[in-house]
Structure 1
């Protein structure tokens, strides 16, 4: 089962840049949850916490595509180093603003700047794999590997930020995320030998390769709905554990969900698929919708843990198929931009999902709020049928 993974990791420099990207991506699973834990602890409002988290995510969604364009044109090292410097300052400002009870506009502004400058390490590492590998099967395996590592991030990150924020200081989870993101991104950006060449264009180069917008729009819609389901479920799970009197278990439950996704990703990457990524995407999103259907009617933390694990089995296969479909659809010179568009779709869904979840939690409780990811999952399965075959 692991032979395909060994083959792609034997590529010179692959283990180093993939490992560095893993560390650099760890804050992705910590920042949103860290904001929710910090603000809900300080103010007692999940609605406010969700809205600040949403501002962070929305600004990230709006600026990821331009950042992807810059990555293609100016190279990964220059763009990522600049982004992480500004991002670090913004998040430090956010923590100080909440702790010092500064005006809310300061908190929102810091969240917006932090989201806008979050380094696009996920899209860039997939573009790096596509540059280094030449066989489509190897590229698909590499994307599966990165999706598995994404799930490692979402196993370790939520547990770490929850333990720190609930067991020590409410701001400590975000503080660790800031340091890890800075160190990991600078380490990844320093590995220049394996990055794709910058493709700065001049007037003599002619028009840019056309982007297949119809196909990309369909894929981005699926990503948006998946993001809505994932973003809502994260916030709701934290609230569910608090209502049950076991808030300290929130990170564990989210890690179980990520663990299920990790298992699904490992299996997906080890199979030489005869079915194309479009067909796999339709089946994976259908499986996710079915698995999430029981969530609003669960009253036990133990049962919730089992359902989240089973639902997680379909998350990574959905995301792997999405990225593979983009890689096969967009021109190579715009791959980082194409990957960023899908990332934007996911983040653009996470933001309203988290915000709406916070409002419903405050009004009706966590169980009712679980209807949001259920509806989003069903809509995502339907939207997957619009993607290229």
Structure 2
């Protein structure tokens, strides 16, 4: 017998009806992945599971089997091998169409700065998903494009500003991966033009010597961030959980406090992505600083059956008008579908608990669900 309360049913129904704006995501692949490639795309680790084990033995693996298999006409208790065989039988185009369609996402804000040649771009994602799709420009990707073309360090500052202005002509936001390339403990102040030119010259020399175009210089990273602030577009930061490139101890958003104080009146909204296991710290920053927003992003997929607890914890301090939804999907349409389902379920459970406990009314829950699902993203990113 079901133990769901009337409040639980009401909250589930209302959250199920909410339009979702995925404010941070990537494109999906267009081919049929091998078993190894599929497992690689299921995890943030760059290394395969130990011999004799499988990446399917994880929360995200369970989520895909239990939730996605029925969409592909399989029972949810089938093996990973059966799932991949059925996936190949249907073909990538049909799998993408089904899973993205059933995810019921109204709008996608697509980070195009990572492995763009391997996945669908903005028009491609709009076509396959049926969702409105807009671009988020990655600051470091623009810097690396400029470095490959600029003639001197002295020319770099102005060349970067011009390239960033051009790249964002039709974009709705920016993103920085300074957490991956240095850490969130970067110096808060704006670097001088002379210092930027000096560091750019050294970077160009390094590129010529090694052939590797990868921005890691903290001065140039900080310069890019401040150029982003000058454009007054929402500026996303990767925070917390990610792949092995990050030093997680330096991904705590509290390390950005001095910079957040310096940008409070800049007109730029700061969007803290993922945040786990620092989602409570991010909630504190969102509560205290008027220009800070946060989500729990890819943590929803990777915590799976426990994601409702993460969602609830993220809303302990975060003002409801500061929380957003995202999946951070890359490559696999399964991550869009599972992420959307887990988010709807977790948010509904959280709101139902509040209503049952007398902490909120059903009308409150409706408003909160709409804000987090789409209203906050519409407002911050100025989506028409």
- TM-score tier, shorter chain, comes to under 0.3
The TM-score with structure 1 as length reference comes to 0.24
The TM-score with structure 2 as length reference comes to 0.24
Higher Cα radius of gyration: 2
